[in-house]
């Protein structure tokens, strides 16, 4: 669905937007055949896609500004290469959400698939900036290879969360699966539960990280209800992966 963005449809007639070509199963169809389209906002710079768009890939591809709202599920690679603006998915998002993202914000009210904000297969580097907010669960490889930015998972993240992470921050409210943080060079992963601390990590005692106050505050400003009780708890900190650079950290909320 490359090219269907608030900035590109600005000033176009609704009928014209409905006829924008998108690919479904390799076939070209009009956008209006997949979902209903509406323009909103004071300057009509908000593009609303009403309906299930999970058959469309790359929703919000290379988006730079404006607001794209999907009232339904979105497909593979939503927010790919995003540099600014806001992509809201009021539903579930497919795999590779925010792949190659450089800026802006993605907010998914449902769950996200695998490799959210992660490096593409064969690539070393995942998202390099911006914020991904997932209210529900996320699949495997959240933030794998990510270089910068913030990923918030309100539910549970699958295995390989923050795997081979270069830098950035991943916060998983309800815990993460196996091999979390393995191969991490720098960056932070915060989680309430962890199945096991990876081998290359060392216990670094209790922590009260000031930066986490800052992040929780910023997330609250983005409409996320914050677990401020975390700040009153004694947080356990592990540094690693010492088999790599060893400048990363995993913070576990008891």
Supply the minimum distance, in Å, between the C-beta of residue 232 and another protein. Answer: 12
Query: Rounded to whole angstroms, how far apart are CA atoms 220 and 214?
Result: 10
Q: Is 169 in the site for another protein (CB under 8 A)?
A: yes
Supply the minimum distance, in Å, between the C-beta of residue 125 and another protein. Answer: 15
Q: Which is nearer to another protein, 25 or 232 (CB)?
A: 232
Q: Is 102 in the site for another protein (CB under 8 A)?
A: no
Q: Which is nearer to another protein, 110 or 129 (CB)?
A: 129
* Binding residue for another protein, selected from 29, 197, 218, 224, defined by CB under 8 A: 218
Q: For residue 235, how far is the Cα from the chain centroid?
A: 24
Supply the minimum distance, in Å, between the C-beta of residue 170 and another protein. Answer: 13
Interactions with another protein, residue window 195-214 (CB under 8 A): 207-211, 213-214
Supply the minimum distance, in Å, between the C-beta of residue 187 and another protein. Answer: 9
Strand-pair partners of 248: 240
* Binding residue for another protein, selected from 2, 38, 193, 247, defined by CB under 8 A: 247
Q: Is 170 in the site for another protein (CB under 8 A)?
A: no
Q: Is 186 in the site for another protein (CB under 8 A)?
A: yes
Query: Rounded to whole angstroms, how far apart are CA atoms 186 and 254?
Result: 23
Q: Is 124 in the site for another protein (CB under 8 A)?
A: no
Query: Rounded to whole angstroms, how far apart are CA atoms 186 and 212?
Result: 16
Report the 10 Å Cβ neighbour count for 154.
21
CB 211 within 8 A of CB 237: no
Q: How many residues bind another protein (CB under 8 A)?
A: 21
Interface residue list for another protein (CB under 8 A) = 129, 148-150, 169, 186, 188, 207-211, 213-218, 220, 228, 247
């Amino acid at each position: 669905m490359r090219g269907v963005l608030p900035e590109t449809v600005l000033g176009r007639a609704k009928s014209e937007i409905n006829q924008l070509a998108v690919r479904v199963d390799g076939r070209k169809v009009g956008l209006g055949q997949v979902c209903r389209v509406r323009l909103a906002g004071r300057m009509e710079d908000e593009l609303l896609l009403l309906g299930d768009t999970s058959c469309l890939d790359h929703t919000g591809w290379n988006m730079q500004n404006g607001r794209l709202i999907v009232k339904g599920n979105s497909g593979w690679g939503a927010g790919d290469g995003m540099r600014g603006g806001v992509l809201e998915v009021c539903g579930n998002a497919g795999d590779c959400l925010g792949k190659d993202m450089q800026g802006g914000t993605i907010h998914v009210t449902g769950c996200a698939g695998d490799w959210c904000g992660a490096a593409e297969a064969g690539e070393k580097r995942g998202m390099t900036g911006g914020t991904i907010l997932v209210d529900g669960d996320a699949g495997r490889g959240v933030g794998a290879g990510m270089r910068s930015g913030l990923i918030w998972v309100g539910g549970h993240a699958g295995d390989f969360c923050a795997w081979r992470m270069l830098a950035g921050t991943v916060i998983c409210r309800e815990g993460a699966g196996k091999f979390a943080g393995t191969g991490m060079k720098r960056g932070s992963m915060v989680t309430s539960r962890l199945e096991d601390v990876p081998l290359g990590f060392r216990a670094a005692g209790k922590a009260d990280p000031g930066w986490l106050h800052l992040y929780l505050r910023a997330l609250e400003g983005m409409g996320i209800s914050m677990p401020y009780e975390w700040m009153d708890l004694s947080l356990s900190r592990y540094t690693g992966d010492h088999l790599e650079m060893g400048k990363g950290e995993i913070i576990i909320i008891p």
